[in-house]
Structure 1
Amino acid sequence: MNTYSAICKICGKESEIDGSNTVKIRSNVRQFKKEQFTVWRCAQCNSLHSLEEIDYDYYYKNYVMQKQKIDFATRLLFISRLRQLVRGGLLPHHSILDFGCGNGGFPYFLKKKGYVKTIGYDPFSSQFSDRSIYTQKFDIINSQDVIEHSSDPVTFLDEITALVKRPWGKLMIGTPNADYIHLNDPLDEVGWLHQPYHRHILGSKQLIQMLEKKGFRIDKVEQKSYMDTKIPFINSTFVFNYMTSTDGTVDSIFDPIKFGLIYTSPRLLFHGLFGYLLNHKKDIFITATAL
């Protein structure tokens, strides 16, 4: 592989790109499963980046994650997310913006739970792309698994931090953690890298520093996914192993569940029952207060 350089969009420094810090990885979305993408790691700040430029409209048209429905499993995950927000200081009277809400399932859930001042926004959803939110300020902004999809994480943080009430408004942001995603074992990282959608993945140190520079106090850092519950089969280790055991795509979790596969696989049964104990620290969730 020829050596060339690229500028990191997180730290702004130049890194040489060669075979030692890159990996070719397939998409884990069924429609694009045959396509491969290059992911490289910044030698300076350890963040991860998708090398090839993409047509956002093309890849996000009929995006599989928009298929999420509020079923039993989804409700359990939403309860876990709500508990995360409550631990961070969420109260029923707060105004809440769920930035990157997808098809709006979580804002709908929050309203049903009594958080009536909840608004959802997602630039890739025609239903939730009303940019009038940029004229408002919110007590709480929640952004779960969104910043890694942005073509420019610095600008993304500029936008959402400007929407937080000052002082004492809170930003609660969750994202994969580049520090614990290993390019030397890409088959195990397909789900976390989620190509070509995860454009830039930060480490916890970089995200904390960026928030502090924007005038936020870091209140809490959790290195565990909201998906990792003690409820059997509701944990990230099981979900990713289940996807690998089917066709290796995220689409499989929206297909009819293959109970026979689960019950005949000791590995899947083990991860379904005990996967929540296997905290790989591959997710971070930060609660920060605007000063």
Structure 2
Amino acid sequence: MDSVSPELISNNQGYDRSHKQRLECLICNYHVDLNDKSAFSTFFCNVRAFRDEKFPIWRCPTCQTIHCLDVVDIDSYYAKYPFAEAKLTLPFRLCYQNLCQKMIEHGFSKTHSFLDYGCGNGLVVQYLRENGFANAYGYDPYAPKESFGDATVLQRGPFDYILLQDIIEHVEDPHALLSKLDSLLAPGGYLLLGTPNATNIDINRPELSNYYNAVHVPYHIHIYTREVVESLGKQQGWEVVKFFNRGYDDTRWFGLNTRTWNEYQSISDGTFDVIFEEINIWQALKSYRFLFYAFFGYWLSLRTDMTIMFRKKITD
């Protein structure tokens, strides 16, 4: 990360250059030119508490990684993050069923130990425990210590299965994160990683929820392609077991797909928050586009998310 000179500040009006910024791609070391305004797109924050704030992003022309330019005090943004208020409703249960099925297909059973790293308020853990997975645990550094913020739970490792869902794009250093998880993953264990797919995100359409949800500034710091994520896993010595070209919340259930989620936001206030609130049924049913995507959205997915199953090799 680099500090920006006063000259660049004066030459790039419209952006606040008074703090550190991400000018170098952490994957391939490409350095973006701040004077090249065409290199940047501006997205608004899709969290209601900060919806009036806008942030520039840029895509590395070499490896296609998308970077959020400005370094912010991210703790203040997480303090009002809507997912913290989410409840384990039927839609979440159906989506988590879809997520867990991906692990079950690779041997996950009620006898295995499981860690949801970056679990938020622990809905996946709650779902698993309700379904008999007694060895399911969660950890999130932004959660209260008396809840899922207690790092001592990591001492229960190594874990047979680790879930890293919508986390890698939130951290500055993916190498450090994956290295830590490698130390928590048992030999022969599986890690399921879900994250946005930079390849399918159009950064020139910041007005569309189909894309601004995936970009999710300033929370998403770096967004990677499939090739980059698989390479990061292989650097840990993991093998790629399976690639899924969509997220766990993109299901065949009526109304439970990303196109429907995004459309509902568009007919509401446009923010991420509405997903975690009680649905306005009448507002939704009055929208022909909402009903269309509720039926057909799965097959019209833009695949802005991806899921990759890794396996840690067993060493002699």
Aligned-pair identity (%): 33
Count of residue pairs brought into register by the alignment: 290
3-state SS of 1:162 partner? helix
Instruction: Kindly indicate whether residue 240 of structure 2 is the aligned counterpart of residue 218 of structure 1.
Output: yes
Shift of 1:89: 3.0
Aligned to 2:180: 159
Q: Please identify the structure whose Cα radius of gyration is greater.
A: 2
Structure 1: state its 5+ residue gaps. none
Shift of 1:24: 0.8
Aligned to 1:11: 28
Greater Cα shift, 23-32 or 86-95:
86-95
Aligned to 1:148: 169
Instruction: Kindly indicate whether residue 269 of structure 2 is the aligned counterpart of residue 247 of structure 1.
Output: yes
1:26-73 residue CA offsets vs partner (Å, 9 max, x unmatched): 100010000001111112210111111111221111311111101111
Greater Cα shift, 11-20 or 181-190:
11-20
3-state SS of 1:66 partner? helix
Relative distance call for 1:113 and 1:255 in structure 2 (3 A) is: closer
Structure 2: state its 5+ residue gaps. 1-10, 13-20
Shift of 1:21: 2.8
Instruction: Kindly indicate whether residue 142 of structure 2 is the aligned counterpart of residue 121 of structure 1.
Output: no
1:158-207 residue CA offsets vs partner (Å, 9 max, x unmatched): 211221112x1111100000111111112221111111111111110000
Instruction: Kindly indicate whether residue 133 of structure 2 is the aligned counterpart of residue 112 of structure 1.
Output: no
Query: Matches of 1:53 and 1:159 in 2, distance apart?
Result: 23
| Greater length-normalized contact order (CA 8 Å, ≥ 6 residues apart) | 1
Shift of 1:7: 1.1
- TM-score (norm: length of structure 2): 0.87
3-state SS of 1:172 partner? strand
The equivalences for 1:20-39 within 5 A come to: 20-39=38-57
Query: Matches of 1:228 and 1:98 in 2, distance apart?
Result: 20
Q: Which amino acid aligns with 2:149?
A: S
User: Contact (CA 8 Å) 1:92, 1:115: kept in 2 or not?
Assistant: yes
Q: Which amino acid aligns with 1:231?
A: W
User: Contact (CA 8 Å) 1:21, 1:40: kept in 2 or not?
Assistant: yes
Q: For 1:75, which of 87, 93, 117 is the aligned residue? A: 93
Instruction: Kindly indicate whether residue 150 of structure 2 is the aligned counterpart of residue 130 of structure 1.
Output: yes
Shift of 1:102: 0.5
Shift of 1:251: 1.0
CA RMSD of aligned residues (A): 1.8
Aligned to 2:203: 183
Query: Matches of 1:87 and 1:27 in 2, distance apart?
Result: 36
Q: For 2:285, which of 247, 263, 272 is the aligned residue? A: 263
